[in-house]
Amino acid sequence: QLSKRLARVGDFVPDKSRLADIGSDHAYLPVALVLQNKLDFAVAGEVVEGPYEAARKQVRKNGLEEQIVVRLADGLSAIEQSDAINAVTICGMGGTLIRDILEAGWNNQRLQGNERLILQPNIGEKNLRNWLTDHGYTIIEEDILEENTKIYEIIVALRQTNRVAYSEKECLFGPILLERRPAAFNKKWQSELEQRERIVAQLTRAQNTQEERINQIEKEIAQIKEVLSNES
Ligand code: SAM
């Protein structure tokens, strides 16, 4: 039984995909999707020995060694050309780490550019969307959901010929979430607003000289207020 978060990620994986799940931990996602007959083949990549062993165990327990290959590797280096991967999931990490994994895979050509990326950053979504827009990706779907008092975002991206360049505001809020404004989106940004206001108050009280940082946070505060006041 997948968590609501991973089940939603799975919904964005097209039928008959050849999936690479990077940072797979227990390989829960590829195992569940193969059991649902959604995948032809999967690679579960892990860089840490413990989770790698856990993934191998989970695959063996379900008798799926034919369909799921578990590899101990850093990021997208888990992918081999002969895998013919066409979908990549990277979930449950910070957006900056996901970005760094994509950047490394881009540079060593493990990422071909024709895979569908299904990304679930826990924080730092803006850095990730900046990377996607800089590398010619279009965000084709986004979602936001709450589970166990935490709010998670999911970003689905694909490189298309008619590329879209996203604005700073779209990178912060998500171009699709900004249009749709689901309830969890408003809840998240209300809390992000309060958090930023607390930080600015602290920095100001401490007569902190990080003027540039304060200016950046204040700019975001204004953007968040604007977005929340347009809530319909
Ligand atoms: N993807 C699962 C999920 O969403 O539930 C597991 C998330 S877990 C919090 C993050 C996993 O990513 C850890 O098992 C960690 O070892 C792995 N990880 C972190 N950096 C990685 C990298 N560069 N390459 C592969 N795996 C990595």
In the chain the first and final C-alpha atoms are separated, in Å, by 36
Average pLDDT for 82-86 = 97
pLDDT at 91 over 70: yes
pLDDT at 232 over 60: no
Average pLDDT for 12-25 = 98
- pLDDT band of residue 197 (cuts 50, 70, 90) is very high
Closest CA to ligand 1's atom 15: 23
Residue pointed to by tokens 């193969």: 34
| Domain 4-163 annotated CATH 3.40.50.720 | no
* CA triple 11-15-18, angle to 5 deg: 105
Q: Name the residue ranges covered by the structural domains of the chain.
A: 4-163, 184-229
* CA triple 143-115-44, angle to 5 deg: 85
- What pLDDT does residue 194 have? 98
Residues 6+ apart with CB under 8 A from 157: 116, 117, 119, 132, 137, 138, 139, 140
- What pLDDT does residue 24 have? 98
Average pLDDT for 166-180 = 96
Q: Is the minimum distance from the CB of 74 to ligand 1 under 6 angstroms? A: yes
Mean pLDDT over the full length of the chain: 95
d(CA 96, CA 72) in angstroms, rounded, equals: 21
Q: How far is the CA of 49 from the centre of ligand 1 (A)?
A: 11
- What pLDDT does residue 231 have? 60
Closest CA to ligand 1's atom 8: 92
By most ligand atoms within 8 Å of CB, the mutation choice from 6, 8, 24 for ligand 1 is: 24
Its ipTM equals 0.99
